[in-house]
Amino acid sequence: GNSVTQMEGPVTLSEEAFLTINCTYTATGYPSLFWYVQYPGEGLQLLLKATKADDKGSNKGFEATYRKETTSFHLEKGSVQVSDSAVYFCALHYGGATNKLIFGTGTLLAVQP
């Protein structure tokens, strides 16, 4: 079946460090891929998305490239800030008319000054 696997956290980095959070997926067909971010005490917000192979989503300095050959959608940022501390969820959408997102388990990122 369709699933998303992302690296377990927590990930602890110093400010200005390089960030990678790995995400791989299993899906039939051509799903759309998303990264959502959840700041403490808040709901999830869309961070970036890619709808087809080789698309690169980007927002707020974060990037992720839809790699169909490796079924991956890794999240990267060149220089993290304390304000990036949050839980990051990788997700895939499939099913056309149905409202089904499949989420990974989330990765907690803690950035220290």
Partner 1 sequence: NAGVTQTPKFQVLKTGQSMTLQCAQDMNHEYMSWYRQDPGMGLRLIHYSVGAGITDQGEVPNGYNVSRSTTEDFPLRLLSAAPSQTSVYFCASRPGQGAKGGKTQYFGPGTRLLVL
Minimum distance of partner 1 from residue 101's CB (angstroms):
6
Which residues on neighbouring strands pair with residue 50, listed in sequence order?
A: 33
Minimum distance of partner 1 from residue 14's CB (angstroms):
26
Of 46 and 53, which CB lies nearer to partner 1 in the complex structure?
46
Minimum distance of partner 1 from residue 96's CB (angstroms):
7
Residues at the site binding partner 1, with contacts judged by CB under 8 A: 4, 32, 34, 36, 42-46, 49, 51, 89, 93, 96-101, 103-106
Residue 84 class from Cβ within 10 Å (0-12 exposed, 13-18 middle, 19+ buried)? buried
The single-letter code of the amino acid at 4 is V
Of 96 and 113, which CB lies nearer to partner 1 in the complex structure?
96
Task: Identify which of 85, 81, 73 has the alpha carbon closest to the alpha carbon of residue 21.
Answer: 73
